[in-house]
Structure 1
Amino acid sequence: MAEKVLMKGNEAIAEAAIRANCEAFFGYPITPQTEVAAYMAKKMPKIGKVFLQAESEVAAINMVYGAAGTGVRCMTSSSSPGISLKAEGISYIAGAELPCVIINIVRGGPGLGGIQPAQSDYFQATKGGAHGDFNMPVYAPASIQEMVDLIQEAFDVADIYRTPCMVMGDGMLGQMMEPVEFKERVARELPEKCWASNGLNGRKTHNVINSLFLKPEECEKHNYKLQAKYDEIKKNETKYELFNCDGECDLIMVAYGTTSRICKNVVNMAAKEGIKLGLIRPITIWPFPLEAFNSTIASSKNGYLAVEMSCGQMVEDVRLSVEGRTPVHFYGRTGGMVPHPDEILNKVREIVGGTK
């Protein structure tokens, strides 16, 4: 068993990426994720790998595009406004079918907003986040340990499906410290990168990396190819946790990231009042875990309660999953405010009719 090390979230992200054989990092500083870049700046050159602080977020994501096109594992990180600036490049990367990992340590918005933790980038991350018909796997860890594990998973999934993958945590996960174990992972079978633009390498013609299809018939064919890939990702890569959902529940909460940790405390608090709560914790917020709702909908007497650090974004996916079969309620704080367990429990009492 590997030794546990106390690490700050942002630094653990960077170390996990290095251990996942990230060959190149391109980024630009922005609170609350700057320590990711700082750690990479210190470590990557010492082990013969590339660190480059670009002149802007736009430059950084296009450097990722170029490096990914050669077949090397590469990564960028940012926080909410910086991800907005990277949006066009992310669409190009998805269109060109290039693997990479994008880290978003979310802060409050819109606009410059604030530097406190939030989950208000959910729409940006899960609904494409840029122009065109595309998606990308988005992981939402609830702890620094899970963040480390999912970063290594994201690099593998990116390579398997030739897609950008995002790991999205809020500012708390980036700034807090927890014990971390860098585990030996079971290696997934990865395809050969015979598509990479890295010289002839025995081929008669050069590979060309491209997302431009001027003929509508060709562009449509490419889009259908991408959609078939996304269907495979939905089938094979959806992740979620069911917590205390066995048997009949008065209400099932739905929360991800650090908000789900708060909700687990609410489950225990409610139990002391005779209220049985369950929790669905999406680990991938795209693909969203539809099966989690199909398997629990009959056992929740008062439907679902989505709890978020936003004005209500994931709640829309909960409603789509439920398809009107049961009520969907919402409780959220935004702008960097974090939901308190007592506030959530008050909302639960309001829904279920008070102490049982």
Structure 2
Amino acid sequence: MAKILMKGNEAIGEGAVRAGCRYFFGYPITPQSELPHYLAKRMPQVGGVYLQAESEVATINMVYGAAGAGARVMTSSSGPGISLMQEGISYVVGAELPCVIVNMMRGGPGLGNIAPAQSDYFQATRGGGHGDYRMIVLAPASVQEIIDLMQDAFDLADRYRNPVMLAGDGVLGQMMEPVELGEEKEVRIPPRPWAATGRTGGEKHLINSLYIVPEDLEKHNIRLAAKFAAMEKEEQRWEDYLAADAELVLVAFGTAARVCKAVVDRCRREGKAVGLIRPLTLWPFPVKAFQPLLATAAHFLTVEMSMGQMVEDVRLATRECRPVYFYGRCGGMLPVAGDVYAAVQKILAGGEAK
């Protein structure tokens, strides 16, 4: 099958269209602006709606409305824009509305800069808004994987009636790679009997996250918690790259994982037992991937484009039975294979990575 060259941000847009998304509300912010720019042209071609909102706050509330009416809908932003959406995201989860939210991460905190980072990990995996809630968070590492995961993102959102986040970074958004799109097929969107589409008789559908009576809100939260527990049990995803017999296991996602694969390949050529676990879901974190490794792995090293936010989850996943080291760059700086390799060498020689 023929391949075409696509930029990561554009691939997100095309993947969404092919997944049946017909509504996009967004606001430009670097490094994801090519995505709304692409969909401004693409949505009208498929009978869809593109609207640039006046702010990110307005954007997420437009998503709430479209999702509540039964549409397949998406928004996207980066860092500060996702921060502005947090109240609305909590509302969307509370109202149990399926949608997809894309965050192409940039350097922070504050305005930071427009360079790539992974420092929104806590925001994505812990729920940046108020209340008890969770979202499935998918983390692609290539432009092809972006295309493939967009269909999964919308399907998972429908399955659990919950927003799903796709967490990339500025490198993935800006880079160009060859991708296979396949044939564009008609997408059958599951029925939405709960949607508020206008009452013409029969039962009333109310889209709401407000429960004034404490006992009612408690019941709602308990039911949501059961749904989140099902997500945690069923949706853990990861790639195991030569980790089964590794003495030292690298843990990285997105762009950082691409760097780590090169390090693993070099180490294997030199006879060093080094492997990689790449989380495909940042939440639920793939705890199941780590338990079999404890029989052989003596060390774990997380490599991140942040100050080490995923370290906490790796420590929990390994039950703190093994030392977990960290190597990272932040503020828009990228880890370099040679530096990661040096950290690996230091650990294998009995030292610490950093």
**TM, length-normalised to structure 1:** 0.95
Partner of 1:24: 23
1:190 positional shift: 6.5
The change in CA–CA distance for 1:224 and 1:41 in structure 2 (over 3 A counts) is: same
| Secondary structure of 2:290's aligned partner | helix
Counterpart CA distance in 2 for 1:183 and 1:292 is 31
Helix, strand or coil at the partner of 1:179: strand
2: distance between equivalents of 1:24 and 1:211? Answer: 22
Deviations 1:271-323 (A, max 9, x none): 3443210100000000000000111111112x210110000101110011112
**Matched residue, 1:152:** 151
Measured in 2, the distance between the counterparts of 1:24 and 1:208 equals 21
1:102–1:167: 8 Å Cα contact kept in structure 2?
Answer: yes
1:57–1:85 contact (8 Å) kept in structure 2: yes
Q: Which residue of 2 aligns with 1:211?
A: 209
Residue in 1 aligned with 2:265? 268
Residue 221 of structure 2 corresponds to residue 251 of structure 1? no
Match of 1:287 among 253, 276, 284: 284
Write the letter of the residue equivalent to 2:104: I
- Residue identity matched to 1:46: Q
Q: 1:279 to 1:189 in 2, by over 3 A?
A: farther
Structure 2 CA distance for partners of 1:141 and 1:185, relative to 1, 3 Å: farther
Q: Say whether the 8 Å CA contact 1:156–1:188 is kept in structure 2.
A: no
Aligned counterparts of 2:204 and 2:48: Cα–Cα separation in 1: 25
Q: Does 1:94 align with 2:101?
A: no
Aligned length: 351
Q: Is the 8 A contact 1:160 1:190 kept in 2?
A: no
Which of the numbers 334, 339, 344 marks the counterpart of 2:335? Answer: 339
Residue 326 of structure 2 is matched in structure 1 by: 330
2:243 counterpart letter in structure 1: C
Alignment check: 8 A CA contact 1:12 1:148 kept: yes
Q: Which moved more, 1:229-238 or 1:47-56?
A: 229-238
**Aligned pairs for 1:25-174 within 5 A:** 25-174=24-173
Matching residue of 2:9 = 10
Deviates more, 1:285-294 or 1:37-46: 37-46
Q: Out of 343, 346, 349, which is 1:350 matched to?
A: 346
Deviation per CA, 1:47-96, whole angstroms, max 9, x where unpaired? 22110000000000000000000011000010111000011110000000
Which one-letter code corresponds to 2:236 in the other structure?
A: T
Q: In the alignment, which residue of structure 2 is the partner of 1:309?
A: 305
**1:23 Cα offset (Å):** 1.4
Q: Which runs of 5+ in 1 are unaligned?
A: none
Name the aligned partner's letter for residue 345 of structure 2. R
Give, in whole Å, the separation in 1 of the partners of 2:187 and 2:156.
9
Q: Distance between the aligned counterparts of 2:303 and 2:247, measured in 1? A: 16
C-alpha distance in structure 1 between counterparts of 2:252 and 2:271, whole Å: 21
More displaced 10-residue stretch of structure 1: 37-46 or 178-187: 178-187
